[in-house]
Amino acid sequence: MNPMNQPTPQGAVASFFAELNELRWDDHRYYHQSRINQTLHFISSISFLTAYVMLFINPGVAALIGWGIGMVSRQSGHFFFEPRDYDHINKATHEHKEEIKVGYNLNRKRVLHGIWAAIPIALYFDPTLFGTMTAYTDFNGFLNNMAIAWLVLGVTALLFRTFHLFFIRDVKTGIAWCVKILTDPFHDFKIYMKSPIYLMRGQLMDPMTHAVSSNPDEIDQECDARS
């Protein structure tokens, strides 16, 4: 349901969940129009849900699953399959959507994934990763150190953007975004579980009929307000 059509919530808790729902809604309608991207997010959601379970069993394995499968599949959809031409559904250019992105836009993701890719290279030349961990002595040790470093990177990236939003937006937005990221695997599994079926039927783009406002001017006004 379009949160823009809902009445203004009353109370701090209601306001927080309204913010969370709006972040999810904007993320879906702006950045997940490709059925391939949606399908990759469905695969990613399964990977991250598995990683969540593995966090309590083997954090290193959880990090390998989360980054190696979950993040790679997830971000491949954004980098390679999501359209970058004019968005007629939301009346917005790709540049505008990147500018108003609350979380990590493509440029920020390039930096994050650059660091992610650099970690195993740095670890190869320095088994202690600049003295931050015990040196590995075999390949299993290398994988374990790499996985822990990736886990730390993920937590750091989440906290960095959360606190950054505290200053450039407000505390509520920062916390809502953090909660959104942590719960995305559950939400993506729910809303994109049928995307592979649509894709197998040959539908490459989600028509987004549910995302079209009853008043087209509302979307333009929202985009102007967020710019």
How much is the pLDDT for 210? 80
The alpha carbon dihedral of 207, 211, 216, 220 has a sign of negative
**8 A C-beta contact, residue 119 and residue 146:** yes
Residue 87, beta-bridge partner list: 92
Per-residue pLDDT at 166: 97
The answer to whether residue 181 sits within a structural domain is yes
* C-beta atoms surrounding 215 within 10 Å: 10
**Is residue 128 in a domain?**
no
**What does the angle CA 208 – CA 82 – CA 91 come to, to the nearest 5 degrees?**
50
Is 9 within the bounds of a domain? Answer: no
- Is residue 8 situated within a structural domain? no
CA distance 27 to 130: 37
d(CA 227, CA 215): 20
Structure tokens at 173: 């937005």
Could you tell me if 116 and 125 are in contact, meaning their C-beta atoms sit under 8 angstroms apart?
Answer: no
- Give the total number of structural domains in the chain: 1
Alpha helices in the chain (DSSP H): 12-31, 35-55, 59-65, 72-76, 94-100, 106-125, 139-168, 171-192, 195-200, 216-226
Question: Is position 35 within any domain?
Answer: yes
In a domain, 34, yes or no: yes
Q: What is the spatial distance between Cα 178 and Cα 160, in angstroms, rounded to a whole number?
A: 10
Residue 53: give the domain boundaries.
25-113+172-205+215-226
Residue 140 lies in a domain: no
pLDDT at 227: 31
Closest CA to 89 of 185, 2, 196, 176: 2
Are the CB atoms for 54 and 65 separated by under 8 Å?
yes
pTM of the model: 0.86
Res 219: pLDDT: 37
Could you read off the pLDDT tens digit of each residue along the chain, which spans 227 residues?
A: 555 555 555 688 999 999 999 999 999 999 999 999 999 999 999 999 999 999 999 999 999 999 999 999 999 999 999 999 999 999 999 999 999 999 999 999 999 999 999 999 999 999 999 999 999 999 999 999 999 999 999 999 999 999 999 999 999 999 999 999 999 999 999 999 999 999 999 999 999 988 775 333 443 444 344 33
Residue 164 covered by a domain: no
